[in-house]
Amino acid sequence: MLSLRSLLCKTPKSSPFLCAFSTQSSTDASAAPETLTTSRYDELINKAGRNGDFDAVQSLLEQRGKHGLFCTNYTFKFISRDISKLDDLLAALSRIDQRFARKSAHDCLVARLSKLRHLPHALRVAEIVVREGYGSNAVTFHPILNELTKMRKFKEAWRVVEAMKDLKVRPDLTAYNYILTGYCYVRDLSSAAGVLTNLENEKLGADTRTYDALVLGACRDGKPDAALRLLIRMEDEGISPLYSTHAHIIGSMVRLGFHAQALEFVMTCSGRDLKLDYENFGTLATKLIYRKRFEDAKVVVKEMKQRGIEMGEKLKEFYDMHAIDEHDAAAGKTE
């Protein structure tokens, strides 16, 4: 097996940065070569990027690809401080031989630029991925759509969808779900209905995220009864709801003053999934406390105690101060 030193310095692509690193790593001849982890690769790539050593960036990305290690949100952190390095970075990425590494690196760069809200740059990189044949799929465009819909820039999001189609990249269900969720959040239900029409016309169906968005829209529109009907429909179709789907309903009921109904809903859903019970009971108790419905909250935390559902630190403190009864207090003293 080749040593790390020979692997890094044998090729003409090697750089002073990589050679210095490999020399440092092999100072002790008796020591085993360093096993590079995902975080260690990120560290080295960012150091090389800050130093302007893009040959090193290229080689490190190729090597992590050979080890099957995806890029992460931290891989191109250095670009956050200096966007002027983008063209040099793109040139380095274009020279990567390994297909997996090249696609992963470009997708990661799109995500980083999107998070920084350099969205025109992100779209430019996504278009390069498609035009250069690095791997044309909708996943590359997801971070852009996610940020645009978070910013409520729906016209721009639709332009990205059209750009995908122009590039012969079919928008997938996840792409439409980002837009649907954004519309539901701002209670633009007529536009949300238009997204559903798109899903039907393109025969993309619906998944748990689609229903989560619709439940969110119903709840933000003050219609928890409609949200409950959607939840029942999910169960009928064998689609498991997200924890957030339940949280939308609980939050809506509490906001509308339906405290007893909220507890009934949580109790009805209980006993199937311990993690779900923790989320639902905890969400309900926390929201009741926030609205100073202390008597109702006491009922919820007592139920949690009786069922052996773990409480967070703040709920446990509330229970100890307000809900613990004399029997529990006496039992605590004898232990």
pLDDT given at position 161 = 97
Q: How confident is the model at residue 3 (pLDDT cuts 50, 70, 90)?
A: very low
CA distance 262 to 250: 6
pLDDT given at position 12 = 44
Residue 198 lies in a domain: no
Q: Work out the mean pLDDT of the chain and round it to a whole number.
A: 88
Residue 279 lies in a domain: yes
Residue 43 lies in a domain: yes
Q: Using the predicted structure, report yes or no on whether residue 44 has a pLDDT greater than 60.
A: yes
Residue 303 lies in a domain: yes
Domain boundary at 116, 137, 158, which?
A: 137
Rounded to two decimals, what is the model's pTM? Answer: 0.82
Domain that holds residue 64: 37-80+88-137
Lowest mean pLDDT among 24-28, 138-142, 189-193, 216-220: 24-28
More confident residue, 115 or 13: 115
Residue 41 lies in a domain: yes
Q: What percent of the chain has pLDDT over 70?
A: 87
pLDDT given at position 259 = 96
Residue 299 lies in a domain: yes
What is the pLDDT averaged over residues 246-257?
97
Lowest mean pLDDT among 12-21, 91-100, 203-212, 319-328: 12-21
pLDDT given at position 239 = 93
Domain boundary at 114, 137, 160, which?
A: 137
Residue 167 lies in a domain: no
Residue 260 lies in a domain: yes
CA distance 265 to 255: 15
pLDDT given at position 31 = 42
pLDDT given at position 227 = 96
CA 108 to chain centre: 13
Q: Using the predicted structure, report yes or no on whether residue 21 has a pLDDT greater than 60.
A: no
Q: For the chain, give the longest Cα–Cα distance.
A: 78
pLDDT given at position 6 = 42
CA distance 101 to 194: 38
Domain boundary at 122, 137, 152, which?
A: 137
Query: Per the structure, how many domains does the chain have?
Result: 2
Q: Residue 287 is which amino acid?
A: K
